[in-house]
Structure formats: C-alpha cells, structure tokens
Amino acid sequence: MGVPLLKLSGDPDCKNGTCPTLWGTPDGQDYVVQGYVITDSERLAQLDLPPGESAVVVPAAVLEGFFRARR
C-alpha cells in the first residue's frame, strides 16, 4: 500500500463528497489532483501528453482555497 494522501483542498460547492480535490503526501513532496477527465480531442491535442499521463480539469476555487490556506 502506498503512502496515505492528505486532503488539502476541495471544491467548496461540492454536494456529494466526490468532487475535484487537491491531495498531498505527508512529506509535501507530491500532489495528486482529482478532477474531471478531459475528453475533448482538441484540448488533448494542445497538451501533447506522453504515454502514461492524463489531464483533468479542476475548478479554480480548489487551488485558490489551497493557496489561501497556506498564507
């Protein structure tokens, strides 16, 4: 089992508990972003992702909440 993740910030408008979220490792070395999978082929082409990588959309409020809390 991997290192447990810590919830750092979530979507303030979330109603069901499974919304976009920013997670981190206890040592602060890594972040995991939970969001909506990008399926639009034009957007994916802009990103030019290598094999093994994917991209998600996260509401600005999730990241803004994290940075506000760190001040």
Model confidence at 71, pLDDT cuts 50, 70, 90, reads: confident
- Evaluate whether residue 46 is within a structural domain: yes
Q: Structure tokens of 58? A: 């996260």
Model confidence at 51, pLDDT cuts 50, 70, 90, reads: very high
- Evaluate whether residue 48 is within a structural domain: yes
- Evaluate whether residue 10 is within a structural domain: yes
Model confidence at 5, pLDDT cuts 50, 70, 90, reads: very high
> What's the rounded mean pLDDT across residues 59-67?
89
Residue with token string 């940075």: 67
pLDDT at 1: 60
- Evaluate whether residue 40 is within a structural domain: yes
* Structural domains counted in the chain: 1
- Evaluate whether residue 1 is within a structural domain: no
- Evaluate whether residue 65 is within a structural domain: yes
Residue with token string 């990241």: 63
49 DSSP assignment? P
Please tell me the distance from the alpha carbon of residue 12 to that of residue 7, in angstroms, as a whole number.
13
CA 61, chain centre distance (Å): 11
- Evaluate whether residue 66 is within a structural domain: yes
The residues, ordered by sequence, that sit 6+ positions from 43 with a Cβ below 8 Å of its Cβ are 55
Range of the domain at 53: 6-70
Task: Give the global pTM.
Answer: 0.78
